[in-house]
Structure 1
Amino acid sequence: MKTRLLFTALLASGLGAAHAQQTAKPEDTEVYEPVPTVVMPGRAPGDAPSDALVLFDGKNLDQWVLTSDHKAPASWTVAGGIMTVKKDVGNIETKRSFGSYQLHLEWRIPANISGTGQARGNSGVFLASTGSGDLGYELQIVDAYQNKTYVNGMAGSLYKQAIPLANPARKPGEWQTYDVVWTAPVFGAGGALVSPAYATVFFNGVLVQNHTALTGPTQYIGKASYQAAHGPLPIKLQAHGDKSEPLSYRNIWIRELPAAR
Structure 2
Amino acid sequence: MTCSWMHRLPIVLVTAAVSAMMPMAVPAQAGAPIIGRWDLTVQGTNRAYPSWVEVYLSGHRTLVGRFLAGFGSARPISKVTYDNGTVHFSLPPQWEAEPNDVQVTATLAGDRLTGTIVQPNGEKHRFTGVRAPTLRRTAEPVWGKEVVLFGGTDMNAWEPLPGGESQWKVIGGLLTNTRSGANLATKQKFTDFTLHLEFRVPKGGNSGIYLRGRHEVQVEDSPLGEPSSTHLGGVYGFLAPNEQAHKGAGVWQTFDITLVGRRVTVVLNGKTIIADQTIPGITGGALDSNEGEPGPLYLQGDHTAVEYRNIRITPVVGSPK
Shorter-chain TM band: 0.5 to 0.7
Cα distance change on mapping 1:166 and 1:147 into 2, 3 Å: closer
The answer on 1:125 being equivalent to 2:219 is no
Report SS of the residue matched to 2:212: strand
Percent of residue pairs identical: 29
Verify the 8 A CA contact 2:181 2:302 in the aligned structure 1. Answer: no
8 Å CA contact 1:92, 1:236 repeated in 2 = yes
Q: Secondary structure at the match of 2:229?
A: helix
Q: Work out whether residues 149 and 313 of structure 2, in 8 Å CA contact, stay in contact via their aligned partners in 1.
A: yes
Instruction: Select 2:156's aligned residue among 54, 62, 65.
Output: 62
Amino acid corresponding to residue 59 of structure 1 in structure 2: T
How far apart, in 2, do the equivalents of 1:148 and 1:57 lie?
A: 34
Q: Which residue in the other structure is 1:250 paired with?
A: 309
* 1:45 corresponding residue in structure 2: none
Alpha-carbon separation, structure 2, partners of 1:200 and 1:61? 27
The aligned residue for residue 299 of structure 2 is: 237
What is the CA distance between 1:74 and its match in structure 2?
6.5
Q: Which runs of 5+ in 2 are unaligned?
A: 1-141
Whole-Å separation in 2 of the counterparts to 1:147 and 1:209: 18
Query: Any conservation in 2 of the 1:99–1:233 contact (CA below 8 Å)?
Result: yes
- For 2:290 and 2:298, locate their aligned partners in 1 and report how far apart those are by CA, in whole Å: 19
Q: Which has the higher helix share?
A: 1
Task: Compute the displacement of 1:219 (Å).
Answer: 3.3
Q: 1:29 aligns to what? A: none
Alpha-carbon distance in structure 1 between the residues aligned to 2:147 and 2:182: 24
TM-score by length of 1: 0.61
Amino acid at match of 1:232: P
Q: Any stretches of 5+ residues in structure 1 without a counterpart?
A: 1-35, 40-50, 114-119, 130-135, 185-196
Q: 1:147 to 1:182 in 2, by over 3 A?
A: same
Q: Looking at both structures, which has the greater relative contact order when contacts are Cα pairs under 8 Å and sequence separation is at least 6?
A: 1
Partner amino acid for 1:127? L
Contact map agreement 1:64 1:74 (CA 8 A) in 2: no
Deviation at 1:200, TM superposition (A): 0.6
Normalised TM-score (structure 2): 0.50
In the TM superposition, structure 1's runs of 4+ consecutive aligned residues that sit over 6 Å from their partners are: none
Q: Which residue is equivalent to 1:98?
A: 190
Q: Cα deviation per residue 1:82-128 (whole Å; 9 max; x = unaligned)? A: 11114453101000000100100100022xx2xxxxxx211000011
SS where residue 152 of structure 1 aligns? coil
Alignment map for 1:14-163 (pairs within 5 Å): 51-68=145-162, 76-110=168-202, 113=203, 120-129=204-213, 136-144=214-222, 146-147=223-224, 151-163=228-240
For residues 67 and 168 of structure 1, the distance between their equivalents in structure 2, rounded to whole angstroms, comes to: 31
